[in-house]
Amino acid sequence: MIDVDKLRGAIAEKRLSQRKVAKKLGISDKTFYDKMKKGIFSSAEIEIMIDMLSLDDPMSIFFADGVS
């Protein structure tokens, strides 16, 4: 399960909007927000976000245990 709060924080740290991330992923804003709500992205989408956000520790975001 994805730690959505950490993902939002990483997006904000890069001064990006969720809309820009959605566009880079090739999905609509609504689809992105739905995926954030569910905490589920495809492996291809995760790879793009790791690169886009220059994440040092993607495991803590995309493979978090016990996320509430």
Domain boundaries, the chain: 4-55
Would you state the pLDDT for residue 66?
58
Looking at the chain, the whole-number percentage of residues with pLDDT higher than 70 is 96
Would you state the pLDDT for residue 63?
86
pLDDT above 80: residue 68: no
CB atoms under 10 Å from CB of 32, counted, come to: 20
- Secondary-structure breakdown of the chain: helix, strand, coil percentages, each rounded to the nearest 5: 65, 0, 35
For range 37-62, the mean pLDDT: 94
